[in-house]
Chain A
Amino acid sequence: MSSEQTNLKPKLKLAVYWGSACGGCCVSVLDTHEKLLDIVAAADPVFWPIALDIKYKDVEAMPDQSIDLTLFNGAVRNSENQHIAQLLRKKTKILVAYGSCAYMGGIPGLANFSGKSEVFERAYVETESTKNPERIFPVTEYPVEEGTLKLPKFFNDVLPLNKVVDVDYYIPGCPPQSERLIEVFTAIVSGAQLPPKGSVVGANDKTNCDECKRTKSENKTIDRFYRPWEIQDDKETCFLEQGVICMGPATRGGCGVRCVEGNSPCRGCYGPPPGATDPGAKMMSAIGTMINADNPEEIDKIIESIVDPAGLFYRFSLPGSILGRKVQ
């Protein structure tokens, strides 16, 4: 028994953490279904707040570099996210920014179109379900009889993981497709040659149109933009050619074009292809060429039919793009 055990390959130590996240990334790990058993067979989860009751102090007590693989999902929104990111970086050999939020800021990153004070105003004063005439806002320290209560500091900016710590790999997606996670995980477990540090893994270099089955042509002239519910999608023609903004051409493949397969335009969660540093700018220049008008008034009119362009084109990528945030 003991000899058999020593012959076993040592199990990897795995951590999964959520920063500013919705929980979907953690669920995508569970979504591996029966393959989860293979994961657990090959790796011991040593820290995973959604699934295991392990405290921060337990992690702090672990030796440095003792965790083989950390899947860090969620953006960095506050000092707690930042602290744990730094802690896990110290404790981990391979730190992966897992999912759109950790990769480029994701949906929480849209908060960078405003700042902390606007977010607080909305959350603690204006929301329809809130009554706060005294304008009480969260504070980082609050003295009570028993001592001082502490809350993490809310940052003005949402940050992608690599603005806080050194990141080894990125797995994009909102959430990443579980199949891609298994591929990457299997590669790490099997000791295969890993790609250069900083690579985006679990995704293609080509963008989604490459795998998209819809018919595409050069005829991309748009007289007005439609939101998906405003047209009768013919289910065959490229969404852009029907006037519906689809982020497919500016978004890495790897998801299996699932949204478009489900007759919904690509929202861009897999992020930009290699070399395209600013997906929003890329898509906007592409869209600009499709507008079927040659005088400024007509062009303006067509552009006005795009609802929330900034949020649309930077839906998953604002903090990690060149733009980064709205100028304050």
Chain B
Amino acid sequence: MEEPRIGVYVCWCGTNISKMVDVEAVTNEVKALPNVTIAKNYKYMCSDPGQDLIIKDIKLHNLNRVVVAACSPRIHELTFRTACEKAGINPYLFEMANVREQDSWVHTDRTEATNKAIDLVVAAIRRVRYHEPLQKRFVNVNPATLIIGGGISGLTAALEIANAGKQVYLVEKSDQLGGQVKKFDLTFPHLSSAQQMIRPIVQRVDNHPNISVFLETEIREVTGYIGNFKTAISVNGGDPVELEFGNIIAAVGLKPFNPEVISEYNYKEFPDVITSFEFEEKLLAGRILTVYGKEPRNVAIIHCVGSRNKKYHEYCSRVCCMAALKYVHQVRAALPSANIFEIYADMRAYGKGHEEFYALTTHRQIMFLMYDQQKKLPVINQADRSDNCNMIIEMDELLSGQSIEVPVDMVILMVNMEAQENVKQVVRAIGVSLCGNQFFIEKHPKLDPVATTTGGVYIIGTCQGPKDIPDSVAQARAAAARILGAIAQGSVPIEVTTASVNELLCCGCQTCIGVCPYKAISYDENNKVSIVNEILCKGCGTCGSACPAGAIISKHFTDLQILSEIEGVMSMS
């Protein structure tokens, strides 16, 4: 290894860093450290003059390593790597110390914040000494796309991509397209027809020359990597058809929660306790009738069924409050004299037009009753003959503080949206992860919500988390734009910081193979060693830490680099 000649640059970030960190002191402290050729500080390292400072120094002082102490590498690592590249050194011979988000912004003691900045910069200096140059790599992109799920998200993405002239394979496990939206009568908050919206979309997909639809089909295994995936599907048990595609969109949606497990609601005991989805069937049929064929005189709508309750699902399903208000309008229109009770735990009306919709609903002569989800759920009981109603709901009404009885003839349970049964099979096949709620995990919750950590695999609609139609459609179009972008480029960059096996050390124990979430490792029977496919590898490092023989090197995160960094953090104090 050539002797490291490190340039260290401490950024003021205006006053963001400099008001809490003595940047001059940091610079002076690290100046004399071994291998530090030059150390400077500057107002805005990310500005053009800041970058020029680095570029000039690299050339003038023959630097071969660069450390910038500034903001989060998520923001400007690429900026400085590019500057290094411009000056002729490999971008991976750069290391960033985060002295803003992890230091100046979160501390109130200037001396301690300055000491911490010194520790972080020393750690970066120690680490960068062992950085090695890495080369960028690209793979070609097959222009076809596989979409799993024929609901509103999958359909929208399919049309978007197909309309751009690219092939789409749309796989749906049920026998028809349209997903959950096809089960709805009206949508909120405009009370426009779901059917008039979804039917033409299904028709356009069915007739599109660039879209091949496979109904009653499930994806069991996908092989390959970004740009070059493969799967074999079997339609109606026939011969398997092999499909090749460059990108994948998972749009497998969610399914309604089954309220049978909530004993308070006696869902299976009482036939007129129905789910919101069963109520939609009645609306689509055009009649709101009890099982006795009568119009209900009293209708209760219970919110948060299976939602926001640790016994069932802790999360909020986001759409049920507005759907419940939608039912108020529909019941009121159909049954002008019925008593309507909205039994809610919290009213959530955060979307565009939703608060207005809520306000409008309060004028429809209904009664809002609040219950405490954490303390006691309402209980649905059979009514006595003398009660003049089918059922009685007993509840502790929170706002009045009274225990009350509500007469009802029909109860609509606003059921939670939860993961599909086959969700684990899907995530395994396409190499994505599930969160604790069994929602697909996006690459970044804010900045990259439709991509995943697996290149070429996107997640849209409710499988990523409960959401309404506009959000689902927005995600579908976002993913389509990402994929069309990759197709337009023709090739995509792939991960550089991959893992590789040192065959001289690998003992063939195969511990690494099972732990790889990207199916990138295989066992070479001839040489009795593991092999990493560096196109599939995302550099997550799992195999590197699992390898008991120390034979797997995670590039850019070697033990030597990380341990040197830790030693650096510990060395000054």
Contacts and interface: CB of A to CB of B under 8 A. Distances in A.
Q: Do A and B come from one complex?
A: yes
Interface of A: 205-210, 216-221, 238, 240, 248-250, 253, 272-277, 282-283, 285-286, 288-290, 322
A156 to B, nearest CB: 21
Contact of B549 (A216, A220, A249): A249
A202 to B, nearest CB: 18
A216 B508 contact: yes
B528 interface: yes
Contact of A277 (B509, B513, B514, B563): B563
A150 B217 CA distance: 85
B75 to A, nearest CB: 31
Contacts of A218: 510, 513-514, 523
B548 A249 contact: yes
Range, interface on chain B? 20 to 34
B511 A273 contact: no
B504 A286 contact: no
B513 A273 contact: no
Given A216-B508, A273-B549, 16 more contacts: A205-B505, A207-B548, A210-B507, A210-B528, A216-B509, A218-B514, A219-B514, A220-B514, A221-B514, A240-B509, A248-B509, A272-B550, A274-B505, A276-B550, A282-B549, A289-B546
B161 interface: no
B559 interface: yes
Contacts of A208: 507
B559 A209 contact: no
B63 interface: no
A209 B509 contact: yes
Contact of B505 (A220, A275, A285): A275
Contacts of B506: 206
Contacts of B523: 218
A327 B547 CA distance: 26
Contacts of A277: 559, 563
B32 interface: no
Nearest to B563: A277
Counting from the closest, the 8 A-B pairs by CB-CB distance are A276-B550, A218-B513, A250-B548, A209-B507, A286-B548, A249-B509, A249-B548, A210-B507
Contact of A209 (B508, B514, B550): B508
Given A216-B509, A275-B559, A206 B549 contact: yes
Nearest to B566: A322
B549 A285 contact: no
B309 interface: no
A274 B550 contact: yes
A248 B508 CA distance: 11
A220 B549 CA distance: 16
Interface string B119-140: 0000000000000000000000
Given A206-B504, A218-B514, A285 B545 contact: yes
Interface string B447-462: 0000000000000000
A273 B550 contact: yes
A140 B118 CA distance: 44
A67 B506 CA distance: 38
Contacts of B510: 216-218, 220
B246 to A, nearest CB: 28
A288 B508 CA distance: 18
Interface in B301-355: none
Contacts of A272: 550
B542 interface: yes
A285 B546 contact: yes
Contacts of A289: 511, 514-515, 542, 546
A181 to B, nearest CB: 24
27 contacts: A206-B549, A207-B505, A209-B509, A209-B549, A210-B507, A210-B508, A210-B528, A216-B509, A217-B510, A218-B523, A220-B510, A221-B514, A238-B509, A248-B507, A273-B549, A274-B550, A275-B505, A275-B559, A277-B559, A282-B547, A282-B550, A283-B548, A285-B545, A285-B548, A289-B511, A289-B542, A290-B514
Contact of B548 (A210, A221, A282): A282
Contacts of B509: 207, 209, 216, 238, 240, 248-249
- Of B505, B509, B542, B545, most buried by chain A (CB within 10 Å of CB) is B509
B512 to A, nearest CB: 8
Contacts of B507: 206-210, 248-249, 253
A21 B549 CA distance: 27
Nearest to A217: B510
Contacts of A209: 507-509, 549
A295 B38 CA distance: 50
A290 B511 contact: yes
A211 B267 CA distance: 62
A283 B509 CA distance: 12
A113 B131 CA distance: 35
B482 to A, nearest CB: 30
A303 to B, nearest CB: 16
A210 B509 CA distance: 8
Contacts of B547: 282, 286
A206 B505 contact: yes
A324 to B, nearest CB: 13
Contacts of B528: 210
Contacts of A283: 548
A288 B515 CA distance: 10
Contacts of B504: 205-206
A205 B548 CA distance: 13
A60 to B, nearest CB: 38
Nearest to A253: B507
A275 B550 contact: yes
Interface string B509-547: 111011100000001000010000000000000100111
Contacts of B546: 285-286, 288-289
Contacts of B549: 206-207, 209, 249-250, 273, 276, 282
Nearest to B522: A218
A61 to B, nearest CB: 42
- Of A216, A273, A288, most buried by chain B (CB within 10 Å of CB) is A273
